[in-house]
Chains A and B, each alone.
Chain A
Amino acid sequence: MTKVFEKSPAFFDTFTRKPSMQKTTHYCPGCGHGTLNKIIADQIAELGLQDQAIFVGPVGCGVFIYYYFESASVSAAHGRASAVATGVARANPDSVTISYQGDGDLAAIGTSNAIHAANRGENMIVFFVNNNIYGMTGGQLAPTTLIDQTSTTSPTGRSIVNDGYPLKMAEMMAGLEAPTLVARVGVNTPKNVRQATKVIKKGLEVQRDKKGYVFIEVLSQCPTNWKKDPKDSCDWIDEVVCQQYPLGIFKDLVDERGEVKRRAERVEFDALAEQLGLTTDDEDNTQKIEMLQDELRFKFAGFGGQGILSLGMMVSQLSMERNMEVTWLPSYGPEMRGGVANCSVVVGKKAIGSPAVENPHVLVALNRPSLEKFGPLVAKDGLIIYNSSLIDQVPDTLSGRVYPLAATDLASEAGNVKAANVVVLGFVAQKTGMFSLADLEGFLSETFKKPALLEINLKAARAGWDVAEKV
């Protein structure tokens, strides 16, 4: 005798992931989920996709989808199945990723994740089970509940004024550019089941062929929460629900779309080193910088745009290349507004504690507010270098060694006012004895690849150096 009907091999024979009653499902009698599960299982089996399939389960009546399908499965937080499925699909480019979500899950709490997964054209098929109600939590109003339909949170019926309109997800998804196939089907009549089967098969083929995102909305009956018997529920879909949610294919680009391949590769360290621009270490014989003290603390301050942060970075980079410990800390928050930018740099022979510089040994002030703010904080016998091109009056409270440096003018003479920070670099290098002129020239040649720019900066550095030698 020929077998004409059997349980799909894509299902477990015994539902071993279910804690009890392992031969029956958890769905209520007359529920549409069971029919939909069967169609999906049959088509997975027919297309031979069981081993590639990864199910992402929702929170709602579909929460236990993994009881039934003998495939790798993961359960997502409420509303997050499309986001979880994104992680799964990106990690497993060969998978057939199936996100199975209800109307509260996908169309309320998880709408954003659902729409963005669709909009990225993720390789996944999303089954959106629309039964116009929250089933699992006890029949509350869903975004898809029909106007005037009663629920446990709309006891007098859905009101447009209070609850808005029923959300048409398939139509919304079809309005996006990325999805490959968007349809709405029903599982309430043999005719609708036949149509649903065709569409679902096509959707799974899209996944098999990695042709992008598929959204299939499934109108499903919920006799329990609709408070109707199973037959009336099926009829109600045809007579009422379909008026609001017409069945059909809203978008079909299956023939036009090609394979979308995304990479998930593991690489060796060599490839990483190349990506990061690392060079192999030569033996490091670089002498440390001779400094009179263990630690030299700098404050660089000026207007935004004067290259203050990069001046700090240049000193840091040069110091690091000489095997010094170094920290660079940019100013933060409200200080950045009102025209004063600053950064703290600490160069030390041993591990540096606080990277914040309160009482600098060296202050570079490129504008007047900086000089006024930080000048009085400079450590005893500290070094203050101020931009005499922009500051004509110096506060008389300053202590330490105070040097005017016409940084802006000298930079201008060198060819670009923006090189004022490099003028200062030249001056600081000479005055602190931290770097030689040759050090600076080597560093600038590495930094500025364009010859014209390099020339300006070399001139600027020498100009600063020369002034420092004379004062």
Chain B
Amino acid sequence: MKKLVKGNEAVVIGALVAGCDAYYGYPITPASEIAHAASENFLPLGKVFVQAECEVGAINMVFGAASSGQRVMTASSGPGVSLKMEGISYLAGAQLPCVIVDVQRVGPGLGNIGPEQSDYFQVVKGGGHGDYRAIVLAPASVEETYRMSIEAFDLADKWRSPVFILTDATLGQMMEPIDIREVETHRSEKPWALDAKPHSNDNLVTSIYLDFDDMEEHINGLHAKYAEISEQEAKAEVYGADVPDIVLTGYGITGRMLRSVVDQLNERGIDATLIRPQTLWPFPSRTYQDVVKPGIPVLSVELSCGQFVEDVRLALPGHKVKHYGRVGGNLPELGELVEQAEMLLQEARND
């Protein structure tokens, strides 16, 4: 059935459809509707909902629940996600599946509650201590937020890994229809989980390996897993001309705006193509290498001063990639982006 919901509500509905057992969170604008929707629905269904005393408490409750084999989630926005980062390192180290939502707002510091995409480094590159990775999904619509929320739990189970859903204030607050129906989910057996039964007496969930060789083996094991994830899970949407004169790229809300920009450019007779990563880690580098031919200019747009663009440049070594960003809570206007694209195209022709 179709329902008109906010992005923040779609996260919770997706989680419930995926069979999420528990929600632990702490209020923060612009993510609070996630906690509202979770409290409204988890408790009446006999599931766990706790408003924790702090973000640190919430992520560690997630750690406990995930250790116990539950499908569990938490959500916050930049400042709260900063606080969760220690716990996320432990979750990655102990290979615990869970879903974490970051509805990005403006930073650094208290910033403001408008949209930005400046948590990219924090979420995609690590944030917590140690040599770990976490899968990061980047929806661009409420419907995709809903679908990715379901998918996130399967990915978390499949890879025994924390999975981020990275949205922003705009995606979280806007409403769109989602089509809610039963879907098949793939809940893994978790023989390693803590259980109040004899079979789990030998189970130990930990991220500490005192012996250096044991620790090295564990870390190398994590990275062998990360290599497999990189191979299998990278995803991007490609939209527009088959043989582009210019490639536009951005994720989340910016990626979606660039779709309109591609349409406008194509109407003006410019063959433009959008690459919109749907996973930020693993980064869909291969899609960039397939789509972007030598000499074709690339405009990378994000709501930050240049974080995402680093991965675009890494995917396209030696290639000219121009960054354009807006910050402070401002969204670029479409005309502004069209102009940037045309300027870049002109520069490329003059080169």
Do the beta carbons of B63 and A84 come within 8 Å of each other?
yes
- B189 close to chain A: CB less than 8 A: no
Contact with B along A67-103 (1 / 0, CB 8 A): 0001111111100100111111111101110000000
Q: Is A264 close to B, CB under 8 A?
A: yes
Cβ B210 vs Cβ A327 within 8 A: no
Task: Let me know if B257 and A51 touch, CB within 8 A.
Answer: no
| CB of B272, distance to nearest CB on chain A (Å) | 13
Query: A90-B65, A95-B196 are contacts. A66–B201 as well, Cβ < 8 Å?
Result: no
CA distance A355 to B145 in the complex (A): 15
A267 to B197, CA, bound (A): 22
Knowing A91-B70, A328-B174, A332-B114 are in contact, say whether A84-B61 is a contact too (CB < 8 A). Answer: yes
Q: In the complex, which residues of chain A have a beta carbon less than 8 angstroms from the beta carbon of B331?
A: 354, 356
- From B334, which residue of chain A is reached at the shortest CB distance? A354
Q: In the assembled complex, how far is the CB of residue A435 from the closest CB belonging to chain B, in whole angstroms?
A: 15
* Chain B residue contacts of A51, Cβ below 8 A: 196-198, 201
List B residues 52-66 near A (Cβ within 8 Å).
52-54, 56-58, 60-66
- Interface residues of B, dominant DSSP: mixed
Q: Which of A160-168, A269-277, A396-404, A438-446 lies at the interface with chain B? A: A269-277
Q: Does A54 contact B (CB under 8 A)?
A: yes
Q: How far is the CA of A116 from the CA of B58 in the complex (A)?
A: 12
How far, in whole Å, are A353 and B272 apart by their CA atoms in the complex?
15
Is A326 within 8 A of B90, CB to CB?
Answer: no
Contacts of B62 in A (CB 8 A): 87
A90 vs B72: C-alpha distance in the bound complex, in angstroms? Answer: 11
Distance of A452 Cα from B17 Cα, bound (Å): 38
**In the complex, what residues of A have CB within 8 A of residue B53's CB?**
112-113, 115-116
Contacts of B17 in A (CB 8 A): 269, 272
Contact for B63 among A80, A116, A279, A280, CB less than 8 A: A80
> Complex: how many Å from CA A87 to CA B44?
19
List, in ascending order, chain A residues with CB within 8 A of B200's CB: 72
Report how far A303 CA is from B207 CA in the complex, Å.
Answer: 54
Cβ–Cβ contact B256 & A353, under 8 A:
yes
* CB-based contact A351/B203 at 8 Å: no
- Minimal beta-carbon separation of A265 from chain B (angstroms): 3
Whether B201 pairs with A266 at a CB distance below 8 angstroms is: no
B68 close to A (CB within 8 Å): yes
Which chain B residues in 61-105 approach chain A with CB under 8 Å? 61-70, 72, 86-87, 90, 94
Is A256 in contact with chain B by the CB < 8 A criterion? no
Interface size classification for chain A: 35 or more
- Assign chain B's interface to a size class: 35 or more
Whether A327 touches B174, Cβ cut-off 8 Å, given contacts A19-B211, A353-B260, is yes
B residues near A451, Cβ cutoff 8 Å: none
Min distance, Cβ A51 to any Cβ of chain B, angstroms: 4
Contact indicator B196/A52 (Cβ below 8 Å): yes
**Residues of A with C-beta under 8 A to B56:** 80, 83, 112-113
Residue of B at shortest CB range from A353?
B260
B205 sits at the interface (CB 8 A): yes
Residue of A nearest to B258 (CB): A353
Closest to B331 in A: A356
Is B238 an interface position by the 8 A CB rule?
no
Does A254 lie at the interface of the complex (its beta carbon under 8 Å from any beta carbon of B)?
Answer: no
Q: Is A54's CB under 8 angstroms from B196's CB?
A: yes
Query: What residues on B are CB-neighbors of A112 within 8 Å?
Result: 53-54, 56-57
Return the chain A residue nearest B260 by Cβ: A353
Q: Is there a chain B Cβ closer than 8 Å to A330's Cβ?
A: yes
CB closest chain-B residue, reference A115: B53
Q: How far is the CA of A20 from the CA of B212 in the complex (A)?
A: 13
Contact: B202 with A87, CB < 8 Å? Answer: no
> Considering the complex, which residues of chain B in the window 149-181 have a beta carbon less than 8 Å from any beta carbon of chain A?
169-170, 173-177, 180
* B4 CB → nearest A CB, Å: 5
State whether B64 touches A84 (Cβ < 8 A): yes
- Contacts A116-B57, A265-B45, A358-B333; A276 near B180 (Cβ below 8 A): yes
Docked-complex contact A91 and B45, CB < 8 angstroms: no
Determine the chain B residues whose CB is within 8 A of the CB of A85 once the complex forms. Answer: 64
Judging by beta carbons under 8 Å apart, are B22 and A91 in contact? yes
> What separation, in Å, do the CA atoms of A73 and B63 have in the docked complex?
13
Q: Known contacts A66-B206, A264-B22: does B65 contact A88 (CB below 8 Å)?
A: yes
- B301-338 near A? 1/0 per residue, CB < 8 Å: 00000000000000000000000000001010111000
Chain B residues with CB under 8 Å of A95's CB are 194-196
A54, closest chain B residue (CB): B194
Say yes or no: is A50 at the interface (Cβ < 8 Å to chain B): yes
Contact of A317 with B by CB under 8 A: yes
Q: Are A275 and B44 in contact (CB under 8 A)?
A: yes
Q: Does A329 contact B (CB under 8 A)?
A: yes
B244 in contact (CB, < 8 A): no
A77, B174: Cβ atoms closer than 8 Å: no
| A338 interfacial by beta-carbon distance below 8 Å | no
Cβ-defined contact, A76 with B196, below 8 A: no
A50 to B41, CA, bound (A): 35
Give CA–CA (A382, B170) in the complex, Å.
26
Chain A positions 115-169 with a Cβ under 8 Å from a chain B Cβ:
115-116, 120
Q: How far is the CA of A273 from the CA of B4 in the complex (A)?
A: 15
When A91-B70, A264-B22, A326-B176 are in contact, do A74 and B206 touch as well, CB less than 8 Å?
yes
**Inside 8 A of B261's CB, which chain A residues have their CB?**
353
Q: In whole Å, how far is A74's beta carbon from the nearest beta carbon of chain B?
A: 4
Q: Which residues on A sit within 8 Å (CB–CB) of B68?
A: 54, 87-88, 91-92
Asked whether any CB of chain A lies closer than 8 Å to the CB of B109, the reply is no
B214 partner, pick from A19, A317, A355, beta carbons under 8 A: A19
Which chain B residues border A332 with CB–CB below 8 Å?
113-115, 169-170, 173, 329
Q: Which residues from B are CB-within-8-Å of A264? A: 21-22, 46-48, 70
Q: Which chain B residue shows the least CB distance to A330?
A: B173
Bound CA–CA A122/B176 (angstroms): 39
Closest residue of A by beta carbon distance from B57: A83
Q: Are the C-beta atoms of B69 and A91 separated by less than 8 Å?
A: yes
CA distance A313 to B174 in the complex (A): 11
B251 at the binding interface (Cβ < 8 Å): no
CA distance A385 to B58 in the complex (A): 48
Contact: A113 with B60, CB < 8 Å?
Answer: yes
Q: Is B147 an interface residue (CB 8 A)?
A: no
- B48 touching A91 by the CB < 8 A rule? yes
- Measured CB to CB, the nearest residue on chain B to A57 is B206
Q: Indicate if A63 sits at the interface (CB-CB under 8 A).
A: yes
Of the A-B pairs whose beta carbons lie under 8 Å apart in the complex, a sample of 19, sorted by A's number, is A52-B197, A72-B194, A73-B194, A83-B52, A83-B56, A87-B24, A87-B62, A87-B68, A88-B64, A90-B64, A92-B68, A113-B53, A313-B4, A316-B175, A320-B2, A353-B257, A355-B170, A355-B174, A356-B170
**Apart from A73-B204, A73-B205, A95-B195, what 9 extra A-B contacts exist at CB < 8 Å?**
A87-B61, A264-B47, A272-B45, A276-B3, A333-B113, A354-B257, A354-B334, A356-B333, A358-B334
- Give me the 7 closest cross-chain CB pairs, A-B, nearest first: A87-B64, A353-B260, A265-B46, A91-B68, A83-B60, A95-B196, A116-B53
Point out residues on A near B: beta carbons under 8 Å. Answer: 17, 19-20, 50-52, 54, 56-57, 63, 66, 70-77, 80, 83-92, 94-96, 112-113, 115-116, 120, 262-267, 269, 271-273, 275-276, 278-281, 313, 316-317, 320-321, 325-330, 332-333, 351, 353-356, 358
